[in-house]
Amino acid sequence: MAEMKKQDISSSSNSNPVIVVSDLNISFRVPSEKTRTRFSFLRDNLLPVSFKTRELEALRDVSLEVEQGECVGIIGENGSGKSTLLKVIAGILRSDSGTVTTTGKISPFLELGVGFQGELSARENIFIFGAIMGIPKKRMGFLLPEIISFAGLERFSDVKIKNFSSGMYARLSFSCAVSVEPDILLIDEVFAVGDEAFRHKCINKLLKFKAEGRTIVVVSHRLGDIKVLCDRLILLTGGKVAAAGDPDDVISYYLDSFVSEDGQIRGNSDGTGAKPGKSQFPKKDGSSARAKGKMIKQVTIGRSSLKTGDDLVVDIEFETRQEIKEPHLIIQIFKTDGPLVFATNSARDSFSILELKGLGKIRISFPKIPLLTGDYYVNIELWGGRLVECIEKREACGRFSVISKSKDGTGIVKMEHRWEPLGRDET
């Protein structure tokens, strides 16, 4: 893994920091055994010392500054302390030691629907949100149509939000958070909920906030989106700042940190990572389990996070009860929010598969992919001889993301090119 020096994460002497975090530490007591009785529950929570809990350090000696008008992203594995840090900045959690100083009005979007009342309508909850934020009712009445419109809930403004889907919750929550024109906007995984259209709507709104000089701190696992938005990234590992600086450099350091020298994927520090050399991806229904009765049992992408120029490896595992003579495979790669990027089939590539019977695996390798920043998915189709009958089709059975550097250009693919002077035309 390439080394990266931990950069200075404080603002410059001529800057105007609106968030200052100094030597922040916070830990939690977590149960080591399941509480089985009311007595043991009271004992474990009231007595100063308990043998049934352990201390979990969520943040350790974290210091950072965020300037006015800056957009800073926080990335890291699950359990690295990203959400905890946002909650401390928002004033929701108190630290064990250290200080947090903020200047200006803060609007947090940290958890889905926090503060909303299920028995009340979207319209009523918007007014409750305004009251919590200290905004006069008359002002919220003026903002109401804009909030409802941005969330796309015109037909559901008087529906009890307990009947909302998670996507509707997300749209309403984000719309409320950005409507109050905060000085500081704290966002935790806004890109993980809602559909693609709403995700782009959120990004455009945040870019507009940046142009207006507002301060944004965002946590996300979607590295492509966070790179587009942020001026600077901070990487947390085990509750500590591991790296900070230019988005390209920090993302490259982060991706390299869980890939061993032989190209294998290391598991996450919290034990939730993929097995070495193998990443599981959800099927179309969101399940990563093997499909019953299907011939294509599993599609595995070698690495879920790639950089432009890395190798893409797709393994297709079969299990057939009946023999299939001279089958062919079709593979399609789509950008999640865009068009077909590439498609080919085994017949076109003169790759002969004599038969499929029982268990088997086929690998398709794409060396040095030219794809640029974005999220992508793979479709696989199994066809009978001469490509006359589609036996099985699996859509979005493998997903991966690509991160590119600014110098690689923008768009979908990196195209090799050169510039050269042609001289002046003297005629």
Question: Which CATH number fits the domain that encloses residue 76?
Answer: 3.40.50.300
Q: Is residue 290 part of a domain?
A: no
Is there a single domain that holds both residue 240 and residue 96?
Answer: yes
Average pLDDT taken over every residue of the chain: 79
| 242 and 300 belong to one structural domain | no
Largest pairwise CA distance in the chain:
98
Tokens of 124: 């009523």
Q: What is the DSSP letter of 247?
A: H
The CA distance from 275 to 395, in Å, is 24
Q: How far apart are the two ends of the chain, measured CA to CA in Å?
A: 57
57 and 193 assigned to the same domain: yes
How far is it, in rounded angstroms, from Cα 252 to Cα 223? 10
pLDDT at 21: 93
Looking at the fold, whether 133 and 197 belong to one and the same domain comes out as yes
Q: How confident is the model at residue 355 (pLDDT cuts 50, 70, 90)?
A: confident
128-173 pLDDT, tens per residue? Answer: 888 888 888 899 999 999 999 988 889 999 999 889 887 888 888 8
Residues 71 and 203 in one domain: yes
pLDDT in tens, 391-419: 888 888 888 889 888 788 888 899 888 88
Question: According to the model, what pLDDT value does residue 303 have?
Answer: 86
What pLDDT is attached to residue 40? 67
Domain count, the chain: 2
284 located within any domain = no
The pLDDT value recorded for residue 194 is 60
Strand partners, 358: 320
In a domain, 197, yes or no: yes
Helix, strand, or coil here: 259? strand
Residue 386 has pLDDT above 80, yes or no: no
pLDDT on residue 292 = 37
- This model's pTM is above 0.75: no
Q: Is residue 283 assigned to a domain?
A: no
Q: Are residues 228 and 313 in the same domain?
A: no
Beta bridge partners of 252: none
| Residue whose C-alpha is closest to residue 273's, from 252, 314, 303 | 303
The reply to whether 363 falls in a domain is yes
Containing structural domain, residue 308: 296-408
pLDDT (0 to 100) of residue 52: 62
Q: Is the pLDDT of residue 293 over 80?
A: no
Question: Domain check: are 228 and 79 in the same one?
Answer: yes
Q: What is the per-residue pLDDT across 181-238, written as a single tens digit (0 to 9) for each?
A: 888 999 887 666 566 677 778 888 888 888 888 999 999 887 777 887 888 999 999 8
Tell me, yes or no, whether 252 and 335 share the same domain: no
